Structure 1
């Protein structure tokens, strides 16, 4: 997630330079085609790039709105995980009587759940969660493809044991169990966002329309601007391309990039909060911004 208010032009150019080269080449070809092949035969009506520009604006607007909706939904899900994790830990620490070791184990296991979920969403091999699990837990979850779901199953079983041992009453059991249900809901919503592919036709057609617009705009403007139409065509295309790429960077909110949801920072924040509530002395440092520009 970006932290700065102003984005450097170099960052934008790093994301668009390949498309910029293609647009400059297309504009150059369009200029020479118009100057040497069709200039003496007919004029291209300006209505063509006008209509294409309008269509592109609709497509880019739709794409960016949908991309931001996905990103914001993902951010709300993980914001809820922060709040629910604190409430869950507070409930275990204050509502359970005489089972301190089991409570500590369940809180550690919850931290493992968050790290396992984060690794799954980002498609990375991140085994930080292992240090928060017991040997028995590790043996049980190794047979499960969905590690974080297996951890939740163990949590429910331990909560049931606390209830049978009369360490918590029925009302508090239901309250803590409801939190486990919310963790499962947040897990499912995150997986839905991750596994639902944004329709490729929208982004593909937008790219095609931008290319057609750049070419036709250059053909039209070259009638009055001459060779400068190459630069003007690229400039107008750059506006559309950079706007479209900016929106598409939010399509996969869990990706490990500067525009994604900062899962590393959120998970570490929860870990720090929970360990401090337990009174542990070894507290990890918060995640630091990269180049004071963004956090992952």
Structure 2
């Protein structure tokens, strides 16, 4: 997630340089075609790039709105996980005070759940940090299933049932804690829905095609009065559309491990620090720090 108020131009150029080269080549070809093939035959009506520009604005606006909605929904889900995690730990430590060992074990297991969920969302199969919060027996049981975070929730339910059966917590407290497990499962499912739902490729594809057509026709029209400078002007106008479109598309997959994604590393580490402090642990990890003061992962 970006933190800086101002984005460096070099970062924008790193994301768009390939498209910029294609646009410059396209503008150059359009200028040469206009100058040496069609200049003495007919003029390109200015209404063509005007209509294309309007269509592109609608497409980019729609794409960016939908992309941001996906990103914001993902951020709200993980914000809810932060609050529910703190409430979950507080309830276990308060209600299961007679069996603190089980409460601590369930809190540690919840941290493993968060790291397993994060690894799944980012396709990070080699992320084994969360395994340190599981026992060897639990780890074998979890690794035997394809959905590791769902398997951890199942183990949590078994321990919660044991707390109820041995009288450590009463029926009302059982329902309260179980409701939190249900919310964790709901959040998990919502994250998986966002991750597995592909953004309609036709929207992004047509937007790219329309931008290319607009750049070419704009250069053809403007070259009638601007001459060779039409190449630069065509690229400049196209750069505005392209950078705006790329900025929106960077939010389509909010769980990707990039500067625009939801900062799962920071959020999971924040939850870990909070829960370990609530349990009175001494070995507390450091918060995740921003990279170059620009963004946090």
Determine if the TM-score, normalized by the shorter chain, exceeds 0.5: yes
Counterparts of 1:139 and 1:249, CA distance in 2? 37
Counterparts of 2:166 and 2:129, CA distance in 1? 31
Counterparts of 2:97 and 2:296, CA distance in 1? 39
Counterparts of 1:137 and 1:106, CA distance in 2? 12
Q: SS of the residue aligned with 2:98? A: coil
Q: Is the 8 A contact 1:89 1:107 kept in 2?
A: yes
Q: Is the 8 A contact 1:222 1:229 kept in 2?
A: yes
Unaligned runs of 5+ in 1: none
1:263 aligns with 2:264: yes
What is the CA distance between 1:68 and its match in structure 2? 0.1
The CA deviation string for residues 229-256 of structure 1, in whole angstroms up to 9 with x for no partner, is 0000000000000000000000000001
Counterparts of 2:20 and 2:197, CA distance in 1? 30
Q: How does 1:105-116 map to 2 (within 5 A)?
A: 105-116=105-116
Counterparts of 1:109 and 1:225, CA distance in 2? 67
Counterparts of 2:143 and 2:262, CA distance in 1? 28
What is the CA distance between 1:96 and its match in structure 2? 1.2
Q: How does 1:182-261 map to 2 (within 5 A)?
A: 182-261=183-262
TM-score, structure 2 as length reference? 0.99
Match of 1:6 in 2: 6
Counterparts of 2:130 and 2:259, CA distance in 1? 24
Match of 2:96 in 1: 96
Counterparts of 1:5 and 1:193, CA distance in 2? 27
What is the CA distance between 1:89 and its match in structure 2? 0.2
Q: SS of the residue aligned with 1:226? A: helix
Match of 2:292 in 1: 291
What is the CA distance between 1:97 and its match in structure 2? 3.5
Match of 1:51 in 2: 51
Counterparts of 2:137 and 2:156, CA distance in 1? 13
Q: Is the 8 A contact 1:159 1:173 kept in 2?
A: yes
Q: How does 1:127-166 map to 2 (within 5 A)?
A: 127-166=128-167
The two structures, once aligned, show a CA RMSD in angstroms of 0.5
Match of 1:61 in 2: 61
Q: Is the 8 A contact 1:97 1:168 kept in 2?
A: no
TM-score, structure 1 as length reference? 0.99
The CA deviation string for residues 112-144 of structure 1, in whole angstroms up to 9 with x for no partner, is 000000000000121011110011111211210
Counterparts of 2:258 and 2:136, CA distance in 1? 34
Match of 2:42 in 1: 42
Match of 2:75 in 1: 75
Structure 1 runs (4+) greater than 2 angstroms displaced: none
Counterparts of 2:139 and 2:17, CA distance in 1? 47
Aligned length: 296
Counterparts of 2:16 and 2:171, CA distance in 1? 59
Counterparts of 2:161 and 2:55, CA distance in 1? 58
Unaligned runs of 5+ in 2: none
